[in-house]
Amino acid sequence: MKKPQNLHRAIVQVLVFIVLVPLLPILISWLWGWVEAWIFAVCNILSFVISRVIAGRKNPGLIQERARMLNHPDAAPFDKRLAPLLGLGNLLIVITAGLEARVSMPTLNLTEEALALAVLLAGYFVASYALIANPFFSGMVRLQTDRDHQVVDAGPYQWIRHPGYAGAILAYLATPFLLDSTWSLIPAAATILVLIIRTGMEDSFLYKNLSGYNDYADRTRYRLFPGIW
């Protein structure tokens, strides 16, 4: 009985977080002709599906690991607070954009929106590349002793230590501009701040707990922003 329950829970989670959430700006504003919101939703959904299909073929255990992200008793204590905050922040960005569109019709600025879309796609690409390259890309910070956790220095991990977070930051930055939502810049900025804090805490956690991470950090100097930090 447990496996079917877990499967049903996973299906519901996918439908809610991967299909429903990207569509919230349209559903809340009820602007069915809002082209930018449709582009955002389609890019969001496709990037998730494509990256998970590729990652699942390359690292079959990774998808199961991520599906159980809220059921890891050995998750780092700090991440039990920060991971839900990131989920909430992501939700607030799209909700705020939808609410703002209800009272103020989004305007069309092709240059700004083209740039925002390029940054959004770059963010999805970097985050997806990190997911595919790293078989230990868990949804929660933890030492995966059950999966023979090792340092990964391939793909984008050659250049920065947390490329998945770097990609997410690009996506968070681009979303308010693509959706022409001034107010959603507030939850976007707050979410990025939480993500930066999480990066620093995860980096310290890996220094202390993951064998070989110190040497990797010596080789790969920057955590998140090349040339800065």
Q: 166 in a domain, yes or no?
A: yes
The verdict on residue 38 lying in a domain is yes
Residue 69 lies in a domain: yes
Tell me if 225 is assigned to some domain: no
In a domain, 224, yes or no: no
> Residue 227: inside a domain, yes or no?
no
> Could you tell me the CATH number of the domain that includes residue 109?
1.20.120.1630
* pTM score, whole prediction: 0.88
Distances (CA, A) of 221 to 96, 131, 168, 203: 36, 20, 20, 12
22 CB contacts (<8 Å, ≥6 apart)? 40, 41, 44, 45, 94
Instruction: Tell whether 229 is covered by a domain.
Output: no
At 168-217, the pLDDT tens digits run: 999 999 999 999 999 999 999 999 999 999 999 999 999 999 989 999 99
Range of the domain at 107: 2-219
In tens, the pLDDT along 38-97 reads 999 999 999 988 988 898 888 888 777 777 766 777 888 898 899 899 989 999 999 999
Burial 152-170 (b: 16+ CB within 10 A, else e): beeebbeebbbbbbbbbbb
Q: Count how many domains the chain has.
A: 1
Asked if residue 132 lies in contact with residue 55, where contact means CB atoms within 8 angstroms, the answer is: yes
φ, ψ of residue 118 to 5 degrees: the values are -60, -45
Q: How many CB atoms sit inside 10 A of residue 218's CB?
A: 8
How far apart CA 43 and CA 209 sit, in angstroms, is: 36
